[in-house]
């Protein structure tokens, strides 16, 4: 059976949400961050050499990286008449947009958000870096907000892996109180939060807490 190695306050929350959306049978093994360092426990290195989460094991297969996990789960467990269509048909224009969002989330959008997280912990010492970080945040959040104008989902007319993958971008922007100017992104995040599968994932995995 597929096992999700779930770390609190991490990207593995969106994998849990995906599994709940699909109704895929799974097991969840929990790991807790060190309360002082906020680092993942060493036990995760027994699953994957990087010691990071999310990571899944499925029989003899081990996969890390959110985008790769989302892609694998949808291809492996998201096909069939009784399953929601979580990805567009390969070769279609929607599929190319879908694939771009899968990569954009971690490849571009998360960098300024993570820089903001780490630099904020430097207090006054990090102040000189904030103007550049804020500029990049505005650039990327503005781009995402514009892409969602007049749309309920990132791609097509129903939920896809693109929404799952981009959810952490919205969550982190909310944590940093950056959603104010971006009404489309804020409204999209509220819609995702209202989904029963998302609410189940929070009940099972816990809400994000980065303070």
User: What residue spans in the chain does CATH classification 1.20.1050.10 cover?
Assistant: 93-195
pLDDT (tens digit per residue) in 107-116: 999 999 999 9
CA gap 166, 202 in Å, rounded = 17
Q: What is the CATH number of domain 2-85+198-205?
A: 3.40.30.10
User: Structure tokens of 111?
Assistant: 């960098």
| pTM of the entire predicted model | 0.93
Evaluate whether 24 touches 77 at the Cβ level (below 8 Å): yes
User: What residue spans in the chain does CATH classification 3.40.30.10 cover?
Assistant: 2-85+198-205
Query: Helix 130-147 vs helix 183-194: angle between axes, to the nearest 10 degrees?
Result: 70
CATH topology of domain 93-195: Glutathione S-transferase Yfyf (Class Pi); Chain A, domain 2 (1.20.1050)
pLDDT (tens digit per residue) in 65-109: 999 999 999 999 997 767 678 999 999 989 999 999 999 999 999
- Regarding beta strands 55-58 and 2-7, do their DSSP bridges make them parallel or antiparallel, or are they unpaired? antiparallel
């Amino acid at each position: 059976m597929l096992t999700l190695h779930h770390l609190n306050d991490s990207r593995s929350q969106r994998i849990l949400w995906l599994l709940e959306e699909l109704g895929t049978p799974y097991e969840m093994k929990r790991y807790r961050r060190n309360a002082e360092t906020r680092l993942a426990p060493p036990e995760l290195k027994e699953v994957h050499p990087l010691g990071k989460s999310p990571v899944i094991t499925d029989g003899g297969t081990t996969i890390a990286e959110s985008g790769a996990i989302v892609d694998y789960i949808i291809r492996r467990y998201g096909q069939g008449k009784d399953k929601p269509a979580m990805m567009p048909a390969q070769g279609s224009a929607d599929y190319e947009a879908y694939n771009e969002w899968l990569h954009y989330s971690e490849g571009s959008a998360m960098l300024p958000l993570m820089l903001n997280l780490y630099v904020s912990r430097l207090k006054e010492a990090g102040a000189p870096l904030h103007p550049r970080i804020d500029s990049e945040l505005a650039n990327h959040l503005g781009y995402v907000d514009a892409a969602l104008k007049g749309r309920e989902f990132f791609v097509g007319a129903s939920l896809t892996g693109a929404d799952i993958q981009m959810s952490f971008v919205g969550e982190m922007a909310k944590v940093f109180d950056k959603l104010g100017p971006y009404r489309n992104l804020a409204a999209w995040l509220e819609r995702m939060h209202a989904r029963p599968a998302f609410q189940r994932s929070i009940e099972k995995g816990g809400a994000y807490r980065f303070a």
